[in-house]
Amino acid sequence: MNQEILELLEGATELQIRWVISRTLHTTPGDACRALGINTKTPYKWPNREQLDQVVRLILLDRLEALAAGKDVAAGRRFSMSAQPDSTKLNEMATSNSLVKSDTV
């Protein structure tokens, strides 16, 4: 693991480390909180929130660099599959207006 990440995580609680991991797997901080079953406002109260956000950025940057170098095969497969959405499914969603519905629910 990157030395800078280890230094930034020094003194972090188990919950904070779990949140960092969850944050790297979810699109928003709120989604990461919900996945852990904690209040979405909790991370904003942490005095080391800035350091935790930096750890998230470093981890994601490492993943992107590995992907670009062709070292992260699993992430590459997920990326290439998600980058090519099924046009039939998209057409069905657009026709049924479910794209709008899913955003408003």
105 pLDDT above the threshold of 60: no
Average pLDDT over residues 6-14: 95
Q: In this predicted structure, what is the pLDDT of residue 74?
A: 58
Q: Does residue 16 carry a pLDDT above 80?
A: yes
How high is the mean pLDDT of the chain?
77
Q: What percent of the chain has pLDDT over 90?
A: 56
Please state, in angstroms and rounded to a whole number, the distance separating the CA atoms of residues 90 and 71: 31
- Looking at the chain, the whole-number percentage of residues with pLDDT higher than 70 is 67
CB-CB contact of 43 with 7 (8 Å)? no
pTM of full prediction above 0.75: no
The model's pLDDT over 46-87, given as tens digits with 9 standing for 90+, comes to 999 999 999 999 999 998 888 888 875 555 555 444 444 444
32, 74, 78, 88 from 36: Cα distances, Å:
7, 24, 23, 34
Compare 15 and 1 and report the one with higher pLDDT.
Answer: 15
Strand segments (E) across 15-95: none
